[in-house]
Structure 1
Amino acid sequence: MRINELYSDILMENTQYEFKAVLNQDNPIKWAKTIVAFANGDGGYIFVGVSNERDAFGLSLEEVDKTKNLVAVENDRHIFPHAKISYLLRSVDDNADHFVLGIRVYPAESVVRYREGDFNETVYVKGDGNSTPATPEDIISLSKRKFGVDNETTEKMYSADQWTDYIDLCKTYRSDGAEPGIKELQNEEIVSKDGFVKSGFLMFKDDYNGDDSLICCRLWRGKNKTGIVLDTLKVKGPISKGLKSAIAFIERNTKTGWKKTPAGGREEVLSYPREAIREALVNAFAHRDYSINGTQIDVDIYLDRIDIVSPGSWLLPKDYNEYPAGSIPSIRRNTIIAACFDVANLMERGGTGFQTMIESYKDVPEDKQPCVMIYPGFLDLRLYDKLYETTDDFKEMTDAELVLHLLEDGPKSASELQSATTYGSRSRFLEEVINPLIKDEKIYREGGIKSPKSVYKIKK
């Protein structure tokens, strides 16, 4: 029997129909990618029990049940978000012993991926009789209909007293210093007309504590991660808290210099312009892929640069270096989170954030301009220290400078200070680092010289 004798309008494989003799359980990607591709398109049918030559020989009822179970398991374990599927049967013989199983895949509201492990995801699209990995251009096209992980309407009603941290963020950065009203949040579709918040806005709620909001900050002594960590910060909570904490961490661990003005005065020069830091962090929070479990935003401060690494693939059709400086198109992975930053005056719909960073670095050489490095599943936005190597004051810290830096955060014991240095001998550390600092009246000891509770403090 031919397939068109069962379904008169089906003549051959195309973008809506595909034939499979059986579904191989040992190599499920061969047919699961078709489910993903149909879900990413207009939907379609996989007919199992049909040869490539359109002969419909069918499956036994036992084989039908095993096939449906195999599809359900694969959909549950490897297809995200899960594809919506239904089944239909047509008998191929008079005794109804064998059936063609039709697997109907419905079009998805968001981009569907086939996942093999946490960091190996592939988007497939349907061609004429085949399913192929999506190109960056395909993904951008699919993203036009992707609402993102943050656009679902929840059952939580908006109440300003539960979003105080976000409101404080708005007051800090809005030019009018005003609190956003419910009407404004509704106009931006952050809150529904009935007052229910979107899932992305929940990530700004005061008591939010999801693992997906984690941001990890580290200060390294040298130019790579093989050096000593001088300071660390981990923040998990509302996005607004993570943003403010990361900005504060960078500001306390980077330098301020001065340059003469034409009028003879002094002008402050920062290692990293405030607007560049702010834009880089907002970009990381707004565009990271929150669907990748077990990841976080990483902020690493090195001697000469800051790397801000966020999970999520590069969605644009061209490589970063193929776009003119400051003209990278804006594609929003998380529409509601980005809208929340819009309302707080921290992000513009025109995608001018990177241009702002470029402008703040216009007085430095081209090789020190902000840049994006693309890795599989991650983006690294790099900012260079504008003060590094411009004067002798900004060379790598000596052990004495390191001790003073550590004590700026509060009193510490000799053992705590020594552990951050290269000294293995306590006596040499005290003799060569601590005692000279005491003699120069830069620090002092509180407590007896042999007391285990004694600590060192900066002398004001």
Structure 2
Amino acid sequence: MNVRNLTEELLGKGESDRIEFIASARAENLIGRAVCALLNTKGGSVLVGVDDCGQVLGVLREEDADVLRLFLHRHITPQVLFTVTLDDVQGGRVITVDIPEGSDRPYVFDGAVYIKKGLDILAVDAATMREMVVRQSRETERWERRVAVGLAIDDLDRKLLDETVRKAQDRGYRFEEVHKPDAVLADLALARFGQLTNAADVLFGKRVALRHPQTRLRAVCYETDRGDNFIDEQLYEGPAFYLLEEAMVFLKRHVAIAAEFKPGQLARESRPQYPFNSLREGLVNALVHRDYAAFSGGVSVSIYPGRIEIWNSGHLSMGLTPEKLRSATHESILVNPDISHVFYLHELMERVGRGTFKIVQECRDMRMRPPVWQNKVSGVHLTFFGVGQGQISVKINERQRALLDGLGINESIRMDEYVERVGRGISDRQARRDLRNLVDAGLLDPIGAGPATSYRRTETKI
């Protein structure tokens, strides 16, 4: 399933507490209220160029998305990461605004605060506003927002900061005083009350590891799958962008590239054992969603002959599960919104809430076994399996075989329908395990969450 299919799926679901349709890109105030409302509730998507029935109304241009992106960034406070993209769908083009669940509520659009309640967008009253402010004040301050004691402008990599400004301006971001580093950092929520934050140190600190040793990244290439002997081991430190760059260099140094000649072609085709785009996406997720407050934490990359593991010392946000990460649509909850925002400005994050599905899809396109996420006490583990490493290594029972034989490509089934089809003698727990095993094998895609989850047959063959 590609981006077009994902957007068309949202169109097919219709409006809900997480989906809003707006007919015209010129209805900027309506769009601004909808984005603000979703930030203040569960997050979701606003689809522009669509009527209330989900009908695509016409052809929008890239310029329309650029104008809307700039408008929203100027009129919604505090600054927050959301993505505005132009998507091709059947019948034309729509602008999709993907919005995470906001971490710094209340969010304000043109002086007013809005929430989404069912299908309605409501301006909050004074009592609701007080409740939101009190709830926010009681929450523990995020580590990335805490003051970095003793950190000064001179401790930051100015070249990297200037590059961030240029990239942000290319994406339509506007700064109040672009030539003043302290003002730029304040605009990016990386400075508060004249003092730099921990996020500024993570992103731009030249010697961040001296103040925060947990920011280091360890990369190891092992000789065997048991991990008893290593071929190469490196410990990287510096700004998060440097860690990402060095980790990718390490991966490319040790990941094998296969070359083959296809019939009728003179030139050979090169194919890496792993999809580098997905590896980079996995590293970005590890760097922006990890728990920086844990002094024993970090990020590691482990290369084995048959797999690659990326670990970070974070945990999946409440409500997210490894199964949901593999699904086409799931909630987006940013653990470190300020750090995520700057990664987005560097074009290292494309769509809010869709990165993990892109990883799964790219692996399937390469006919690889789908990657596996594990949410353990020690942190989040993401495992990639190399080409030829047991693409489908799951035992299929008779119930599962009957289901796969009866489902066409892209056809879906819910768990209650599966139970009914199988007949008596299977519990909900057994049915859930059957479906989860087929998801792990890449034979089904979970769509949605909770009791309403459906499972769509993929193109993967047994």
TM score, norm. by length of structure 2: 0.46
Larger helix fraction of residues: 2
Structure with max Cα Rg:
1
